[in-house]
A and B are shown apart, each in its own frame.
Chain A
Amino acid sequence: DAGVTQSPTHLIKTRGQQVTLRCSPKSGHDTVSWYQQALGQGPQFIFQYYEEEERQRGNFPDRFSGHQFPNYSSELNVNALLLGDSALYLCASSLEKRGYKNEQFFGPGTRLTVL
C-alpha cells in the first residue's frame, strides 16, 4: 500500500519564477492538504482540497493556488516566487469523515529553494 508521494524531491528556482509541486494521496484517501514548513519552524497550513475544490485556506496570498484531480491527486502552484517561499512543502492526505478524526498522513515533502 503506497503512502503519500510527492514530486519532485528538490527544486531550485529563481525569484519571479513559477513552480508546480505534485502530490499523490495514500490509497483510498480523498482529501489533500498542503503545508509550508520554513527552516526551523512548524508546518503552516496552506489549503485543503476535497471533491476537486479548495475547501479551506490558511493565511497565504493568492500567489499560492492549487488543484485536485478526479483521481484525488493534487498540485500546488506558486507564482512570482519570493526568497521567503524557500521551504519544505508537505502534502498530507486523509479520508473525509465528519468530525475531528481525519488522521493526516504526510508525504516526504518537496524542498524548494528560491535564489
Chain B
Amino acid sequence: GDSVTQMEGPVTLSEEAFLTINCTYTATGYPSLFWYVQYPGEGLQLLLKATKADDKGSNKGFEATYRKETTSFHLEKGSVQVSDSAVYFCAHMTTDSWGKLQFGAGTQVVVTP
C-alpha cells in the first residue's frame, strides 16, 4: 500500500550546518509530494511542495526535488538556524485521493547555537 518513510530523528546540528532529511515513498500513480513543518505546540505548516517529476520545491532556504526514479523527495537546507528547530513531515497525495495526505513519522531537528 501507499506509504512514506523518512529518516528517524532527532537530528542535532550546529547553527549554519547543512541539513538533509531523507524521504522515500510508495504510491500508485504519480503523487504530489510535500514537506510540512511543525513547531512546538503548533499545527502543521506547508513548507514546500512538488507536483510532478523533477520539480523542485523551495521556501525559506529549504529545497526538495521530486525524484521519480528513486521515489524520493529529500529535504535540504544549506545553513540552518536555531529557529529551524522543529519536526518535519514528508507527505504525499495521490491523484485519486481528493486531497488525503499520507504522512511519514516525522523527523525532529534540533539546531544548537
- Number of chain A residues whose Cβ lies closer than 8 Å to a Cβ of chain B: 30
Q: Which residue of B lies closest to A42 (CB)?
A: B103
Interface of B is mostly: loop
Partner of B32, one of A35, A45, A100, A106: A100
**Are B99 and A48 interface neighbours, CB within 8 A?**
yes
A-B contact count (CB 8 A): 72
A74 at the interface (CB under 8 A from B): no
Query: Using a CB-CB cutoff of 8 Å, which residues 1-45 of chain A contact chain B?
Result: 4, 31, 33, 35, 40-45
Residues on B with C-beta less than 8 A from A90 are 43-44
Known: A42-B104, A45-B102. A102 touches B93 (CB 8 A): yes
| B window 32-75: CB within 8 A of A | 32, 36, 42-46, 49, 51
Residues of chain B whose beta carbon lies under 8 Å from any beta carbon of chain A: 4, 31-32, 36, 42-46, 49, 51, 89, 91, 93-95, 97-106
Q: List the interface of chain A (C-beta within 8 A of B).
A: 4, 31, 33, 35, 40-45, 48, 50, 55-56, 58, 90, 92, 94, 96, 99-109
